[in-house]
A and B are shown apart, each in its own frame.
Chain A
Amino acid sequence: MLTPGTLRFLAGFVFSLVIGWFVFPYVLYERIEQPLQFSHKVHTGEAGGMSCTDCHEVKPDGRFTGIPALEKCATCHSSQVGTSPHEKRLVDEYVAKNREIPWLVYAQQPENVYFSHASHIGSVECANCHGDHGSTDSLRVYERNRISGYSRDIWGSSISRLARKATWDGKKMDDCIGCHESRNVTNTCLKCHK
């Protein structure tokens, strides 16, 4: 039935499918640890007692501070307040040396993209794009696309983008457009490009 030729053909077929579906995504992304560990859970839980807006705030001019500056961390962590080794590193390597923490931003969009948090807050939940990030206990590994240089979060976890887990899984232009369409918001270029 199956000639050796067909078998060889199928072998090649299966081989490249395996490469394309499983090996390629693994190779494509470079896994990088965040410079420090950070627990949203601890900060917003009983121990920290902080609210989201303590660090992520919309300024009166409508600009949004995504990742707070070191200054903000230093207000509490000028010296060590807990026992975590990560906190010790924060104090010793960053606060003491007044060096900004080189966080890797999961949702970082390309330079030509304009996004205003101010105009989305209120109508869109944070979790809609950022998932459960605000309640995690640790920062996951950052996956950097070796070709484009952007975070894997932009493309989403599914390599084919066919199995999008949720609205927050993927932040490509199509995702923005889809959401805008579903909410009857215009999709003109300059709405989101600069």
Chain B
Amino acid sequence: METTQKSPRYGMVIDVDRCTGCGNCMVACAVENNVPPAQAKVTERTGMTWMRVSKLDNGLPFPENRSVYLPVSCQQCDHHTPCQSVCPQNAVEYDIESGIVAQIPVRCFGCRYCMTACPYHARYYNWFDPEWADGIERTLNPDVSARMRGVVEKCNFCHGRLQAARAKAAADGRKTESESDYTTACAECCPTQAIRFGNLADPKSEVSILSKSPSAFRLLEDLGTEPKVYFRSEQEWVHTIVKKTSSSELKEHSNG
């Protein structure tokens, strides 16, 4: 993927050794992006979690069993972007100005081909119309529009916040957003600062330095999709398990 020097490529580095699996990122994401709460019939399969914290363990029996938590959202693939290449409706687009893989729910007609194509199971289908308890719709974020039943949606790195940062830049007379004005809800609300967000194209940025460290890895790296979400761990076994894990196993692990 060629990127111009100028345009940023946003990405995340998640320190799994610092992740306590509290779930803050999941709920902060839902609040930010107007993702509705589950109805009574919703299960783990039909749930809507742009960010989902999954458990990854070493497969050994008790008490040798070790585990870490992997907060998995859209991995924002830079290369081949599987979901984008299969969408028959052009509802998925690779945004060259930010590196964000954009999902446009109003354009989507719900064939779910992209969900099949996504190796990370990071896309979610609206099986039901969104339902907020009476009054809670007043707490919705005006920077993000609500979706309806029958369309696919996913993490877009809190794009509403990028738009807000761009508007602020314009008001200040700047051409591009300042990176200090833009971070995702999950990174902001992580109580252990395990999630770091920033511009991977800037060699001096924290994420860029962290992503190049030997402890960094990406999920299903051998598929060559070049995700922009990195993980890091100092624990040897995590690297071993991640290298061995195939896409179907990732799903299995995510169910505990």
- A residues within 8 Å of B by Cβ? 58-63, 111-112, 114, 116, 118-119, 121-122, 186, 188-191, 193-194
Contacts of B172 in A (CB 8 A): 60, 62
Q: Are the C-beta atoms of A190 and B171 separated by less than 8 Å? A: no
Contacts of A191 in B (CB 8 A): 95, 97
Does residue B166 face the partner (Cβ distance < 8 Å to A)? yes
Q: Are the C-beta atoms of B171 and A194 separated by less than 8 Å? A: no
Does residue B96 face the partner (Cβ distance < 8 Å to A)? yes
Q: Are the C-beta atoms of A61 and B95 separated by less than 8 Å? A: no
Q: Are the C-beta atoms of B102 and A188 separated by less than 8 Å? A: yes
Does residue B144 face the partner (Cβ distance < 8 Å to A)? yes
Which listed segment binds A: B72-80, B156-164, B190-198?
A: B156-164
Q: Are the C-beta atoms of A188 and B97 separated by less than 8 Å? A: yes
- B residues within 8 Å of A by Cβ? 93, 95-98, 100, 102, 104-107, 143-146, 156, 159-160, 162-164, 166-172
Interface centre among B104, B106, B163 (most CB of A within 10 A): B163
Q: Are the C-beta atoms of B104 and A189 separated by less than 8 Å? A: yes
A190 in complex: contacting residue of B143, B159, B167, B169, CB < 8 Å: B159
Q: Are the C-beta atoms of B156 and A59 separated by less than 8 Å? A: no
Q: Are the C-beta atoms of A116 and B107 separated by less than 8 Å? A: no
Contacts of B105 in A (CB 8 A): 112
Q: Are the C-beta atoms of A59 and B97 separated by less than 8 Å? A: no
B160 in complex: contacting residue of A59, A188, A194, CB < 8 Å: A194
Q: Are the C-beta atoms of B167 and A119 separated by less than 8 Å? A: yes
> How far, in Å, is A193 (CB) from chain B's closest CB?
6
Q: Are the C-beta atoms of A116 and B93 separated by less than 8 Å? A: no
Report the separation of the CA atoms of residues A158 and B93 in the bound assembly, to the nearest whole angstrom.
32
> How far, in Å, is B102 (CB) from chain A's closest CB?
4
Interface centre among A116, A190, A191 (most CB of B within 10 A): A190
Q: Are the C-beta atoms of A119 and B166 separated by less than 8 Å? A: yes
Q: Are the C-beta atoms of B167 and A63 separated by less than 8 Å? A: yes
Q: Are the C-beta atoms of A58 and B171 separated by less than 8 Å? A: yes
> How far, in Å, is B122 (CB) from chain A's closest CB?
17
B163 in complex: contacting residue of A111, A114, A122, CB < 8 Å: A114
> How far, in Å, is B63 (CB) from chain A's closest CB?
48
A59 in complex: contacting residue of B100, B107, B166, B171, CB < 8 Å: B171
Report the separation of the CA atoms of residues A186 and B7 in the bound assembly, to the nearest whole angstrom.
12
Contacts of A188 in B (CB 8 A): 93, 95-97, 102
Between A and B, 7 residue pairs with Cβ closer than 8 Å are A60-B168, A111-B146, A116-B166, A118-B171, A119-B167, A186-B97, A191-B95
Q: Are the C-beta atoms of A116 and B163 separated by less than 8 Å? A: yes
Report the separation of the CA atoms of residues A191 and B171 in the bound assembly, to the nearest whole angstrom.
17
Additional 13 contacts, C-beta under 8 A, given A189-B93, A190-B159: A58-B171, A59-B171, A61-B168, A62-B170, A63-B167, A116-B170, A188-B93, A189-B102, A190-B98, A190-B104, A190-B156, A191-B97, A194-B143
Report the separation of the CA atoms of residues A186 and B100 in the bound assembly, to the nearest whole angstrom.
14
Report the separation of the CA atoms of residues A188 and B95 in the bound assembly, to the nearest whole angstrom.
6
Contacts of A118 in B (CB 8 A): 167-168, 170-171
Contacts of B104 in A (CB 8 A): 189-190, 193
Q: Are the C-beta atoms of A190 and B164 separated by less than 8 Å? A: no
Report the separation of the CA atoms of residues A144 and B160 in the bound assembly, to the nearest whole angstrom.
28
Report the separation of the CA atoms of residues A131 and B162 in the bound assembly, to the nearest whole angstrom.
30
Nearest B residue to A187, CB-CB: B93
Q: Are the C-beta atoms of A194 and B145 separated by less than 8 Å? A: yes
Contacts of A122 in B (CB 8 A): 170
> How far, in Å, is A74 (CB) from chain B's closest CB?
24
Contacts of B102 in A (CB 8 A): 188-190
Q: Are the C-beta atoms of B164 and A119 separated by less than 8 Å? A: no
Contacts of A194 in B (CB 8 A): 143-145, 159-160, 163
Contacts of B156 in A (CB 8 A): 190
> Given contacts A190-B100, A190-B102, are A119 and B160 in contact (CB under 8 A)?
no
Q: Are the C-beta atoms of B171 and A193 separated by less than 8 Å? A: no
> How far, in Å, is B143 (CB) from chain A's closest CB?
6
> How far, in Å, is A63 (CB) from chain B's closest CB?
6
Nearest A residue to B141, CB-CB: A194
> How far, in Å, is A64 (CB) from chain B's closest CB?
8
Q: Are the C-beta atoms of B95 and A190 separated by less than 8 Å? A: yes
> Given contacts A189-B93, A194-B159, are A62 and B164 in contact (CB under 8 A)?
yes
